[in-house]
Amino acid sequence: MTVRKNQASLTSDEKRRFVAAVLDLKRSGRYDAFVTTHNAFILGDTDNGERTGHRSPSFLPWHRRFLLEFERALQSVDASVALPYWDWSTDRSPRSSLWAPDFLGGSGRSRDGQVMDGPFAASAGNWAVNVRVDGRTYLRRALGAGVRELPTRSEVESVLSMATYDMAPWNSGSDGFRNHLEGWRGVNLHNRVHVWVGGQMATGVSPNDPVFWLHHAYIDRLWAQWQRRHPGSTYLPGGGTPDVVDLHETMKPWNDTTPADLLDHTAHYTFDTD
């Protein structure tokens, strides 16, 4: 059974294996297909039209399935690898071990934002940014430049306390847990972390930065924590909502899985804290 661990508690061997598996997917071209899929949904999901991956109730189950696909790809390279999660409310500094050269590498240099150390630096020769929205082919970051502070634990708690999963109009204007976690409204958790990292993470092609997976693995864990805290609450809407994925409707691009199928993460993995 896959156990997803806090990135801060990984051994050096676990870090090395995770990085090697990610680089293997990159080399084979499988990695970039994930970036392409994500950007297609970023461009296609709209507040007043069809919306599946973002700004909608299915933001959470869609990313849960997306991460499962990526994790299975990693495990086809090295069966011992699981996705780690980044608790940015605790590891909130550019000096965190997450950003060390033996793991994801650090922030970008000031001149052009280029990441200069770690396994994903362009200079290491293994990480060309191919699926991109501008001409730059190197991984970029500007940790803490776009916004100074990552969300705090008390801000996370304030969102976890919201008992209603999601609310009409089921988009970026909604009240409720999902949209506050996604960050279009309120204290802003998920969106703010993308902005804090900067570089490609602030764009539609954000999975170009491997930290994308660790960020979303933590968002996914917060959904699991919310479920535990609100056992009487569930995914909404329950049915008949135009342009929105209802509980028992299948999700693109897979078309074989519904939010209902993905509510229980323990069918697929557990967390180190479960």
**Contact pick of 8, 33, 42, 124 for other proteins (by CB under 8 A):** 42
Least distance in angstroms from the C-beta of 173 to other proteins:
3
How many residues lie near other proteins (CB under 8 A)?
34
Q: Is 183 in the site for other proteins (CB under 8 A)?
A: yes
CB nearer other proteins, residue 171 or residue 258 = 171
Instruction: Give me the phi and psi of 239, to 5 degrees please.
Output: 170, 155
Q: Looking only at residues 100 through 129 of this chain, which bind other proteins when binding is defined by CB under 8 A? A: 112-113
Alpha carbon distances (Å) from 256 to 62, 65, 213, 260: 12, 11, 22, 12
Judge contact between 217 and 68, C-beta under 8 A: no
CB nearer other proteins, residue 65 or residue 140 = 140
Contacts of 206 (CB under 8 A, 6+ apart): 38, 194, 200, 212
CB nearer other proteins, residue 192 or residue 221 = 192
Q: Is 3 in the site for other proteins (CB under 8 A)?
A: no
Least distance in angstroms from the C-beta of 15 to other proteins:
27
Residue 263 CA to residue 227 CA, distance in Å, equals: 9
The mark string for 61-100 relative to other proteins (x by CB under 8 A, - otherwise) is: ----------------------------------------
- For CA atoms 61, 97, 153, 184, give the dihedral sign: negative
**Contact pick of 52, 96, 171, 208 for other proteins (by CB under 8 A):** 171
Q: How big is the CA angle at 88 (ends 199 and 121), to the nearest 5 degrees?
A: 35
Residue 120 CA to residue 178 CA, distance in Å, equals: 32
Judge contact between 85 and 221, C-beta under 8 A: yes
Least distance in angstroms from the C-beta of 132 to other proteins:
6
Pairing of strands 2-4, 269-271: parallel
CB nearer other proteins, residue 3 or residue 168 = 168
Q: Looking only at residues 209 through 268 of this chain, which bind other proteins when binding is defined by CB under 8 A? A: none
The mark string for 127-166 relative to other proteins (x by CB under 8 A, - otherwise) is: -----xxxxx---------xx-------------------
Residue 113 CA to residue 198 CA, distance in Å, equals: 9
Footprint on this chain of other proteins (rule: CB under 8 A): 39, 42-44, 46-49, 55, 112-113, 132-136, 146-147, 169, 171-173, 183-184, 190-192, 194-195, 202-206
